[in-house]
Amino acid sequence: MFPIVATERLAPDVQRIEIAAPRIARKQRPGQFVIVRTHRSGERIPLTIAGADADRGTITLVVQGVGKTTKLLNSLAAGDAIRDVAGPLGQPTEVRRFGTVMAIAGGVGTAIILPVASALRAAGNRVIGVLGARSREQLILETEMRAACDELILMTDDGSAGRRGLVVDPLLEALASGRRLDRVLAVGPVRMMQAVAEATRKPAIPTIVSLNTLMVDGTGMCGGCRVMTANGPRFACVDGPEFDAHIVDFEILALRNQAYRERESEELREYLANPTRWLEEVRAEMLADASTGVDANAATRFAAPLTASMTASNAAPNAAGQSTECRLEAAHPELRS
């Protein structure tokens, strides 16, 4: 188990979660992610390592509650624990001196681009950050991005912060004015990354996107994260998650990401009907494992006092019939091939 050390609400549906995971904190590099499973019968989801503190032995995740698993994760608090955190996974970002880099992020993509922007600036690049959100309320990590970038441009759909417009607009303006850009990074919704890729294709500016494919195991075994590129199929979990934007087939990516929409909506409805039930199930499992000593994870030993502080009020009876297999994997065996 991986104890939660602290949580902070960044926006109505977005939570920063600091987790005791000393080995991952020591090894991780910008651009890498972890696969998280809240409890035994929960599904595995990929989340970027938005920050790490090797001395404290913690990593930070920034989670947008879009469906059942992310909403459940965001309902956990300091003193709770997460069943599995596997990583660091994926290829780290290529960090060297490119010149001027524009780092464009939409929504929770900001959490993914923040460590990369910091590392690129530390490597001597001039970093222009562009952050987009629906409104000021949804903008996250503005202060941190300001510290990580030489310039920061804010864009909102309603003009309540920065300028009104799309995150791709400052890129189009920079290209039209002849401003030199040596590299562009984009993280966000598929169509946003596609628009950035189209804008930089003709001027041939190297452009990197971090792809939010479906993932199951995160180790190249299941094929769930397959991405079609001009160089053939690739797996986002081991070959990515960053790819050359100009070789990605975004149409196939968008289609694959919708493959389980019905099932995801069903799970969300089931969760929203009684969120407390799911939270109690997770907490009961944590408590049972902590009290029986089932869990031999190093992170538990590292933060034993936190685990011990879980209150007796969390001690609801454990749910019967928990499966050790990931739900998504069990429900969709075709993802394995």
The binder of ligand FAD chosen from 15, 41, 207, 213 (CB under 6 A): 213
Among ligand FES, Mg ion, ligand FAD, none, what does residue 268 contact (CB within 5–8 Å per kind)? ligand FAD
Residues 10-36, buried b or exposed e (16+ Cβ, 10 A)? Answer: bbebbbbbbbbbbbbbeebbbbbbbbb
Q: Does 212 bind Mg ion (CB under 5 A)?
A: no
Residue 222 contact among ligand FAD, ligand FES, Mg ion, none, beta carbon within 5 to 8 Å by kind: ligand FES
Q: How far apart are CA 145 and CA 131, in angstroms?
A: 9
Other C-beta atoms lying within 10 Å of the C-beta of residue 157: 13
Is 239 a binding residue for ligand FES by CB under 6 A? The answer is no
Our finding on whether 45 is near ligand FAD (CB under 6 A) is yes
| Residue 179 CB neighbours (<10 A) | 13
Name residues whose C-beta falls within 8 Å of residue 239's C-beta, 6 or more positions apart in sequence: 91, 227
Is residue 329 involved in binding Mg ion (CB under 5 A)?
A: no
Taking the C-alpha atoms of residue 59 and residue 50, their distance in angstroms, rounded to an integer, is 8
Is 215 a residue that touches ligand FES (CB under 6 A)?
Answer: yes
Q: What is the largest CA-CA distance in the chain?
A: 65
Which range binds Mg ion by CB under 5 A, 49-57, 61-69, 158-166, 185-193? 61-69
Q: Which does 66 bind (CB under 5 to 8 A by kind): ligand FAD, ligand FES, Mg ion, none?
A: ligand FAD
Binder among 27, 67, 126, 223 for ligand FAD (CB under 6 A):
67
45 contacts ligand FES (rule: CB under 6 A): no
Tokens of 173: 């303006």
| 32 part of the interface to ligand FAD, by CB under 6 A | no
How is residue 275 annotated by DSSP? Answer: H
Non-local (6+) Cβ contacts of 21 within 8 A are 2, 34, 57, 58, 59, 85, 299
Nearest residue (CB) to ligand FAD, 181 versus 192: 192
Chain positions contacting ligand FAD, by CB under 6 A = 33, 45-48, 62-64, 66-70, 108, 111-112, 212-215, 241, 257, 264, 268
Chain positions contacting ligand FES, by CB under 6 A = 215-218, 220-225, 235, 237
